[in-house]
Amino acid sequence: EQQVQQSPASLVLQEAENAELQCSFSIFTNQVQWFYQRPGGRLVSLLYNPSGTKQSGRLTSTTVIKERRSSLHISSSQITDSGTYLCAKNTGYQNFYFGKGTSLTVIP
Amino acid sequence: EAAVTQSPRNKVTVTGGNVTLSCRQTNSHNYMYWYRQDTGHGLRLIHYSYGAGNLQIGDVPDGYKATRTTQEDFFLLLELASPSQTSLYFCASSEGLRAETLYFGSGTRLTVL
């Protein structure tokens, strides 16, 4: 069973547009982490958001525990934002389950 | 910033070959992990460890062994490599039991011919 589902699978934006990425969980979680990855590159932690709304620069994450979902909003997208965004949940037993990611392409 | 270093960066071997992937972290994290990343599957946990000498089985352990020799070093061993193990492998580390995040290495691209 896919415990973490992400949508959309891919997204193309023009520079300066906003992006909204979604993550849903088949099983309750209160530990949600968003990561960023360049093609074939290292994963970098963006935001840890167990509940409510968290912001870091142009990134805003909203997690609604009872609805088992989390979103990542990217405002004023830049070409350098292109890459794959993954969300993950921590089961609490040191096992992070990852979604398959959303591939974001920002064009001029 | 936590530092996780993987080697080699790229590796090509033949079916039946022996491969060892290395990972070192320099922040004294207790937990270390090996993941594989494949198109259509995302990241999947192979093995993880919470200290030297400890090993826990992940979600896709078949065909893989791992060993944690020190707090810093975690190795992934493929003793009879198969083409299905062609993948991008990531090592990661984290702090305590309910860590907020993982710190990843740059990955090892393994090709089994």
- Name the residue type at position B80: L
Closest CA to B100 of A82, A39, A45: A45
- Compute the average pLDDT of residues B97-112: 86
Q: B106 is written with which tokens?
A: 């740059």
Residue B91 lies in a domain: yes
Residues of chain A with pLDDT below 70 are 1-2, 92-94
- pLDDT tens column, B5-53: 999 999 999 999 999 999 999 988 999 999 999 988 889 999 999 999 9
- Structural domain count, chain B: 1
Contact list in B for residue A95 (CB cut-off 8 A) is 45, 48, 58-59
B61-88 b/e with 16+ CB inside 10 Å = b? Answer: eeebebebeebbebbbebeebeeebbbb
- CB proximity list for A21: less than 8 A, separation 6 or greater: A6, A7, A8, A11, A71, A72, A73, A74, A85, A87, A102, A104
- pLDDT tens column, A53-74: 999 999 999 999 899 999 999 9
How large a percentage of chain B has pLDDT more than 70? 95
Residue B113 lies in a domain: no
Q: How far is CA A83 from CA A10, B60, B94, B96, in A?
A: 10, 26, 24, 29
Tell me how crowded residue B95 is: count the other CB atoms within 10 A of its CB. Answer: 16
In angstroms, the separation between the Cα of residue B104 and the nearest Cα of chain A is 6
- pLDDT tens column, B47-95: 999 999 999 999 899 999 999 999 999 999 999 999 999 999 999 998 8
Which residue of A42, A95, A100 is in closest CB contact with B45?
A: A95
- Structural domain count, chain A: 1
Task: Check residue B99 and give its pLDDT.
Answer: 67
Contact list in A for residue B59 (CB cut-off 8 A) is 95
Residue B112 lies in a domain: no
- Cβ(A94)–Cβ(B99) under 8 Å? yes
In angstroms, the separation between the Cα of residue A2 and the nearest Cα of chain B is 10
CB pairs under 8 A between A and B: 56
Q: B61 is written with which tokens?
A: 């352990």
Q: How far, in Å, CA of A7 to CA of A21, rounded?
A: 6
Residue B100 lies in a domain: yes
Contact list in A for residue B98 (CB cut-off 8 A) is 31, 90, 92
- Burial status of residue B39 (CB atoms within 10 A of its CB: 0-12, 13-18, 19 or more): exposed
Residues of the domain holding B82: 4-107
Task: Check residue A74 and give its pLDDT.
Answer: 97
The residue in chain B having the minimum alpha-carbon distance to the alpha carbon of residue A84 is B42
Inform me whether the pLDDT recorded for B2 exceeds 60.
no
Residues of the domain holding A60: 4-107
Q: A51 is written with which tokens?
A: 């509940």
The residue in chain A having the minimum alpha-carbon distance to the alpha carbon of residue B47 is A95
Q: How far, in Å, CA of B78 to CA of B34, rounded?
A: 12
Q: At A99, which CATH number?
A: 2.60.40.10
Q: At B28, which CATH number?
A: 2.60.40.10
